[in-house]
């Protein structure tokens, strides 16, 4: 088995013997490093493939996408070589929306679908953005809105040099989310699990439940303590839930007697 290499995929821990791949897409302003610690807390037969879009981390010198369709079209081609074994998708916030559109894209383009789609901290795609868009506000107002989301450490927000580097990426990622236009298509057939935070003031329980409309397969939701960024504060419990979900899904797809 050859070892695929791509600037789109960062492997926190290579696992060439893995039988299932978990593709993880970052939230707004996030990098592939978000998922660096995940392999040690997941089943040994799962390989974490952390997706690194342009404009962040090792690809900081590349312009970030501001149109989700453009991002998905390029990502689908870049990730195709890694779909040589069963795989699942996970994304948080804008990463969840991207993982949904990526699933639809590869289904239509390659006839492939993940065993499972896990969406975290994200409203269902058919529900329009409910807030007032702020991606194009003046810098001071824009950063105030970013701070309100509570996803960036205070010491980073107060570091002018770091924020100067991060601001273009943050603007681009919020543009992806706040200008997204949902296109009606037949629902997916893979199961969907929607994760949410009990204290999340950005994504409501009803908007999580809306994901039910996007699949003819099984659907469930699971809520954790914490706000929109429970992915960080409740990481251990989230990874336990992800481990159970992947294991259950893989078992249900095994052919009896094979």
Counting residues of the chain whose pLDDT is more than 70, the rounded percentage is 97
SS3 249: helix
pLDDT for 4 beyond 70 = no
> What confidence tier does 256 reach under pLDDT thresholds 50, 70, 90?
very low
Residue 217 lies in a domain: yes
Q: Which residue has the tokens 């969907």?
A: 192
Residue 2 lies in a domain: no
Give strand ranges (E) for 107-234: 117-120, 192-197, 219-224
pLDDT for 1 beyond 70 = no
Residue 97 lies in a domain: yes
Counting residues of the chain whose pLDDT is more than 90, the rounded percentage is 81
Q: What is the pLDDT of residue 255?
A: 46
Q: What is the pLDDT of residues 9-40, one digit of tens each?
A: 999 999 989 999 999 999 999 999 999 999 99
Residue 152 lies in a domain: no
Are the C-beta atoms of 33 and 53 separated by less than 8 Å?
no
Q: Which residues are CB-contacts of 197 (< 8 A; sequence separation ≥ 6)?
A: 121, 203, 223, 224, 225, 226, 227, 228, 229, 230, 234
pLDDT for 200 beyond 50 = yes
Q: Which residue has the tokens 């953005």?
A: 129
- The span from the CA of 21 to the CA of 23, in Å, is 6
pLDDT for 222 beyond 60 = yes
What is the domain range of residue 245? 9-128+184-253
Eight-state DSSP code of residue 55? T
pLDDT (mean) for 210-238? 96
Residue 75 lies in a domain: yes
> What is the number of H-type helices and E-type strands within the chain?
8, 7
> What confidence tier does 231 reach under pLDDT thresholds 50, 70, 90?
very high
SS3 229: coil
> In the predicted model, what is the mean pLDDT of the chain?
92
Q: What is the pLDDT of residues 129-165, one digit of tens each?
A: 888 889 999 998 998 888 887 777 777 778 888 888 8
Whether residue 93 lies in the annotated active site: yes
Q: What is the pLDDT of residues 116-132, one digit of tens each?
A: 999 999 999 999 988 88
Look up the CATH number of the domain holding residue 89: 3.40.50.1820
Residue 219 lies in a domain: yes
pLDDT for 230 beyond 50 = yes
> What confidence tier does 188 reach under pLDDT thresholds 50, 70, 90?
very high
- The span from the CA of 248 to the CA of 137, in Å, is 45
Positive or negative: CA dihedral 39, 42, 44, 47: negative
Residue 193 lies in a domain: yes
Q: Which residue has the higher pLDDT, 5 or 75?
A: 75
Residue 111 lies in a domain: yes
Q: Which two tokens stand for residue 9?
A: 């995929």
Q: What is the pLDDT of residue 3?
A: 55
Domain count, the chain: 1
The catalytic position among 50, 93, 99, 207 is: 93
- The span from the CA of 17 to the CA of 15, in Å, is 5
Q: What is the pLDDT of residue 79?
A: 97
């Amino acid at each position: 088995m050859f070892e695929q290499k791509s600037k789109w995929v960062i492997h926190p821990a290579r696992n060439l013997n893995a039988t299932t791949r978990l593709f993880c897409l970052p939230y707004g302003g996030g990098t592939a490093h978000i998922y660096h610690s995940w392999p040690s807390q997941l089943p040994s037969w799962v390989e974490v493939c952390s997706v690194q879009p342009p404009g962040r981390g090792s690809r900081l010198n590349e312009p970030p996408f501001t149109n989700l369709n453009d991002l998905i079209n390029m990502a689908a081609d870049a990730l195709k070589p890694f779909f040589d074994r069963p795989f699942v998708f996970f994304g948080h916030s804008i990463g969840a929306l991207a993982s949904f559109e990526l699933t639809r894209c590869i289904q239509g383009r390659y006839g492939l679908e993940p065993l499972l789609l896990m969406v975290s901290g994200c409203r269902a795609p058919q529900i329009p953005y409910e807030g007032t868009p702020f991606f194009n506000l003046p810098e001071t107002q824009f950063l105030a809105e970013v701070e309100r989301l509570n996803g960036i450490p205070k010491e980073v927000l107060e570091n002018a040099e770091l924020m100067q580097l991060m601001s273009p990426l943050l603007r681009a990622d919020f543009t992806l989310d706040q200008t997204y236009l949902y296109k009606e298509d037949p629902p997916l057939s893979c199961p969907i699990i929607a994760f949410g935070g009990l204290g999340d003031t950005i994504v409501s329980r009803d908007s999580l439940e809306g994901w039910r409309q996007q699949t003819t397969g099984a659907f469930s939701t699971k809520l954790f303590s914490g706000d929109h960024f429970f992915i960080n504060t409740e990481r251990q419990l989230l990874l336990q839930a992800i481990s159970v979900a992947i294991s259950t899904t893989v078992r249900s797809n095994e052919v009896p007697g094979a």
